[in-house]
């Protein structure tokens, strides 16, 4: 809609987990490095928490794109609001199972065969469970713990990464045995004011929008109303570009941002 007017090759502020738009703030770099460590060293399990819209999913997707396909077999579960059997079936499916038994014992046998075959083929198995805070059934957390019992004498047969909002920490801590298996825990905070400005500049650059300027008043208001949460920043900046386009503006000003926020909220 507005890409041609602003000289963009694509929209820079889409709220999709596209790894190429990932902005590496110091905390995002740290989170990614820690997840890499857990996966590469086969540490069993890791947990990444953060407020809604802070970039957990895009970090998970970024890690996914970095994992060598010839080394890793990956299951990425994006909707974990399932019972324990359904979750096991989903994991088996994403790991390439052509048969999905209905009995739990048969599913576990199938899954164990997949894990063992992956090891024999020199491959590591990684399971991402996104939005893990949405799991309501305590039995599912127990099943996740039990999956970590799939191991050889000296290594786990799989690595599990749990991604979710802050309440995930509380739910995992309620399962002490699962908590003991979590080798890495990291929490993402919102961006600070300086990081937010760099984040906006970064996304514009990726979309060939280096010449688009958000003035100081616009940036101040975006930070004030977004709280430094990337998803909210994206919403405001996207609508600001729409508003600026409709007004044939050359710069995104505070008044344009204010009108964009009113459009979003009303």
Domains of the chain plus CATH, in order, are 3-8+191-265 (1.10.8.60), 26-188 (3.40.50.300)
Q: Give the DSSP per-residue string, the chain.
A: --HHHHT-SS-TT--S--GGG----HHHHHHHHHHHHHHHTT-SEEEEEESTTSSHHHHHHHHHHHS-TTTEEEEEES---S-HHHHHHHHHHHTT-S---SSHHHHHHHHHHHHHHHHHTT-EEEEEETTGGG---HHHHHHHHHHTT-B-SSSBS-EEEEEE-THHHHHHHTSHHHHHHEEEEEEEPPP-HHHHHHHHHHHHHHTT-TT--B-HHHHHHHHHHHTT-HHHHHHHHHHHHHHHHHTT-SSB-HHHHHHHHHHHH-
Q: What is the mean pLDDT of the chain?
A: 95
Per-residue pLDDT of 190-246, as tens digits, reads 999 999 999 999 999 999 999 999 999 999 999 999 999 999 999 999 999 999 999
Its pTM surpasses 0.85: yes
């Amino acid at each position: 809609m507005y890409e041609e007017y602003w000289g963009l090759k694509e929209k820079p502020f889409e709220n999709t987990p596209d790894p190429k738009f990932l902005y590496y703030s110091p905390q995002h770099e740290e989170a990614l490095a820690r997840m890499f460590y857990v996966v590469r060293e086969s540490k069993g399990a890791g947990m990444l928490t953060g407020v809604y819209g802070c970039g957990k999913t895009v970090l998970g997707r970024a890690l996914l794109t970095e994992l060598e396909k010839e080394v890793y077999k990956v299951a990425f579960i994006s909707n974990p609001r399932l019972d324990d059997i359904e979750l096991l079936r989903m994991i088996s499916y994403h790991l390439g199972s052509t048969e999905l038994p209905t009995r739990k014992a048969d599913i576990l046998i199938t899954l164990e065969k997949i894990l063992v075959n992956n090891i024999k083929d020199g491959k590591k198995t990684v399971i991402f469970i996104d939005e893990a805070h949405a799991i309501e059934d305590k039995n599912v957390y127990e099943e996740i713990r039990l999956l970590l019992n799939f191991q050889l004498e000296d290594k786990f047969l799989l690595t599990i990464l749990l991604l979710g909002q802050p309440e995930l920490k509380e739910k995992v801590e309620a399962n002490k045995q699962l908590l003991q298996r979590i080798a890495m825990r990291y929490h993402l905070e919102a961006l600070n004011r300086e990081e937010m400005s760099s984040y906006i500049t970064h996304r514009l650059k990726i979309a060939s929008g280096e010449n688009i300027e958000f003035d100081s008043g616009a940036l101040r208001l975006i930070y004030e109303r977004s709280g430094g949460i990337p998803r909210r920043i994206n919403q405001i900046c996207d609508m600001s570009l729409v508003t600026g386009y409709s007004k044939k503006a050359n710069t995104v000003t505070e008044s344009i941002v204010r009108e964009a926020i009113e459009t979003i909220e009303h």
